[in-house]
């Protein structure tokens, strides 16, 4: 194993648990907000480097018998979406149920 792969493994070993924890926290907050509004909600944290998100969402929605898929999005437009692809768009096209996209709030910009 080269030194580059060894250092990536150590880095991934530290970062992935932090990302997982942050993801679980976001999902817990979303479930709590849904419960406050009287909406029953389930959630799933997806971890899959080798699977397209759209495929995983489609499979899980069918397995759960979901009524709705709610998916966060960065709201990229134009060339950045074209070159990077859009997971949200792929989910919209393949999901077996309606999809609600929730755009991340934009950070306030400084004014001159």
pLDDT digits (tens, 9 = 90+) for 33-72: 999 999 988 888 888 777 888 999 999 999 989 999 988 8
Per DSSP, helices labelled H in the chain are 3-36, 53-64, 78-84, 87-94
User: Is the pLDDT confidence value at 85 over 60?
Assistant: no
Rounded Cα distance, 87 and 53, in Å = 6
Enter the pTM of the model.
0.64
Same-domain check for residues 31 and 50: no
Same-domain check for residues 17 and 65: no
Same-domain check for residues 35 and 79: no
Say if 112 falls within a structural domain.
no
pLDDT on residue 83: 45
Rounded Cα distance, 90 and 55, in Å = 9
Dihedral angle at the C-alpha atoms of 55, 60, 65, 70, nearest 10 degrees?
Answer: -80
Among 1-5, 10-14, 55-59, the least confident range: 1-5
pLDDT on residue 84: 46
Going by C-alpha positions, the residue among 53, 52, 55, 27 that lies closest to residue 41 is: 27
The CATH number that applies at residue 82 is 3.40.50.620
Q: Residue 23: give the domain boundaries.
A: 1-39
Report the number of distinct structural domains present in the chain.
2
Contact (Cβ atoms closer than 8 angstroms) between residue 100 and residue 70: yes
Same-domain check for residues 63 and 94: yes
Q: Environment class of residue 11 by beta-carbon count within 10 Å: exposed (0-12), middle (13-18) or buried (19+)? A: exposed
The residue ranking higher by pLDDT, 88 or 14, is 88
The residue ranking higher by pLDDT, 2 or 58, is 58
């Amino acid at each position: 194993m080269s030194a580059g792969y060894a250092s990536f493994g150590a880095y991934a070993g530290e970062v992935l648990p932090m990302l997982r924890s942050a993801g679980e926290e976001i999902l817990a907050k979303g479930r709590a907000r849904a419960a406050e509004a009287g909406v029953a909600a389930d959630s799933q944290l997806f971890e899959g480097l080798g699977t397209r998100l759209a495929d995983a969402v489609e499979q899980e929605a069918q397995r759960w018998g979901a009524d709705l898929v709610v998916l966060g999005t960065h709201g990229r437009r134009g060339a950045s979406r074209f070159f990077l692809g859009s997971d949200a768009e792929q989910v919209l096209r393949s999901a077996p149920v309606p999809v609600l996209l929730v755009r991340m709030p934009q950070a306030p910009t400084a004014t001159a």
